[in-house]
A and B are shown apart, each in its own frame.
Chain A
Amino acid sequence: MKLSWWKIACILLLLFSFTAGFIINVPYVGNLYQTIRNFFFHVPMWFGQIALLSLSLGYSIAYLRSGRLKYDIYAAEFAKVGILFGILGLVTGAIWARYTWGEYWSNDPKQMAAAIAVLIYFAYVVLRGSMTDMDKRARVGAVYNIFAYFIYIPLIMILPRMVQSLHPGGLEGAEGGGNPAMGGDSLDPVMRAVFWPSVFGWILAGIWISNLKIRFFLFTHKNILNG
């Protein structure tokens, strides 16, 4: 079995982040103690989600421009794996929150925004499921997907920055003020060196999963899809 270079890179990056993430010395920040290690696994989910949904947007635009059904399948599968990443991010965040904030769910603005984002894309899946004609499903789905993406970005990038949050670095006036992903001053160079490989590893893993799903779909629907 021969793997292409980016799949090998994905395996190596994830192996590195899973081992280094648990053995490096982490800085002592407030009440986080060792739970700061969740940073290497929780935050890459959101980077992965943004990357996958951006790819989904790209293929939806490509579908509307070219009308090739294949691109619609790409867009749908990337969006579905984006939803999976969103759910994983919410779960890893909730488990972490149980030990730092005391509750699985505390209506933090960032938690809310992430949950709404998952709902928006669930609606995309429901919409696609409601139509049986493949061409119509592709066209209407693509229109909704593009519209949804431009609501999704302000929802997760702008709104949570406007209010205080329980997230590390979420206090008003903290360094990197309220950035949804990076906890400002809590990130030292050693952590960065583990964090970025983890981000790219997870993005590649997401693309890999979607790729398998797309190939499987195209294989099972070979007789309807030509082109």
Chain B
Amino acid sequence: MKGVFTLMQKDLLLELRQQYTFWGILLYVASTVFVLYLAMGKPQADVFNGLFWMIQLFVCINAVAKSFLQESKGRMLYYYFIGSPTQFIIAKLIYNALISVLMVVMSLILFFFLLGTPVLNIGSFVGLAFLGAVSIGLVFTLMSAIAAKAQQNAAIMAILGFPLIIPQLLLLLRISRSMLGEVFREGALLQMFSLLVGLDVLVIVLSVVLFPFLWRE
């Protein structure tokens, strides 16, 4: 547990020292939302929902992509000596989930400010946005690890991750529609919500089990 914490601290320190990536992604969010605003003004609830989750997907991918791509081969060897792969992947998962949530906060503020608020229940929409960000961050953590092994840039990560994230994205889109005024059959919301959380747990377990195989060279 202490190792996990140290590795997270290291990631945070790197982030603070190389702030250009953080500000770069922030600028990416801001300009994307601004272009959307110029293109369509204040969209209707359905369009807002679709746009919001698509932008979320791209922002989270950009935020998570560098988590493994930034690690050089020599540095990976060093981690191999000081810690276990399980500690390493858990640290990465937690850190990426947190970074994704941070990015979602930024884009939520921009979305509400520029594209209006067709959301009826803002509190639960924000909560769902956090959960969605965590889900996307978790799935793309392992994809980033795989892409780093395949020695490719972020392109292969997008190819691998897009089909895999669709189930969760579909659930998120459907749940958030209830916060935009659509009425669901009783119990359906809870069912979808628990399925979403279940998928997150599945992704965490699979990442922890599979990463040690990926890490051996």
Residues in A lying within 8 Å of B, measured CB to CB:
64, 116, 119-120, 122-123, 126-127, 130-131, 136, 139-140, 142-144, 146-148, 150-151, 154-155, 158-159, 162, 172
Known contacts A127-B146, A140-B146: does B160 contact A159 (CB below 8 Å)?
A: no
The dominant DSSP class at the B interface is helix
CB distance from A219 to the nearest CB of B (A): 28
Contacts of B152 in A (CB 8 A): 130
Query: Is there an interface contact between A162 and B167, defined as CB atoms closer than 8 Å?
Result: no
B213 on the A face (CB < 8 A): yes
Contact (Cβ within 8 A) B170 A159: yes
B162 to chain A: which residues have CB within 8 Å?
A: 119, 123
Interface pair A147/B164, CB less than 8 Å apart: yes
Partner of B213, one of A130, A139, A151, A162: A139
Considering the complex of A and B, which 8 residue pairs feature the smallest CB-CB distances, nearest first? A119-B163, A120-B163, A143-B210, A155-B167, A140-B149, A123-B160, A116-B166, A151-B164
Q: What size tier do the contact residues of chain B reach? A: 20 to 34
Nearest CB of A to B17, in Å: 30
Question: What is the distance, in angstroms, from A1's C-beta to the closest C-beta of chain B?
Answer: 41
Residues of B at the A interface (CB closer than 8 Å) are 142, 146, 149-152, 156, 159-160, 162-164, 166-167, 170-171, 185, 188, 191-192, 195, 199, 202, 206, 210, 213-214, 216
Q: A123-B163, A158-B195 are in contact. List 20 more A-B contacts (CB 8 A).
A: A116-B166, A119-B163, A123-B164, A126-B156, A126-B159, A126-B160, A127-B146, A140-B214, A143-B142, A144-B146, A147-B164, A147-B210, A150-B202, A150-B206, A151-B199, A154-B167, A154-B195, A159-B195, A162-B188, A162-B195
B167 and A130 contacting across the interface, CB-CB below 8 Å: no
A139 to B146, alpha carbons, bound, how many Å? 10
Closest to B205 in A: A150
Name which residue of chain B comes closest to A144, CB basis: B146
Distance between B18 CB and nearest chain A CB, rounded to angstroms: 27
Contact call A143/B213, Cβ cutoff below 8 A: yes
Residue numbers in A under 8 Å from B170 (CB-CB): 159
- Contact across chains for A142 and B166 when beta carbons are under 8 A apart: no
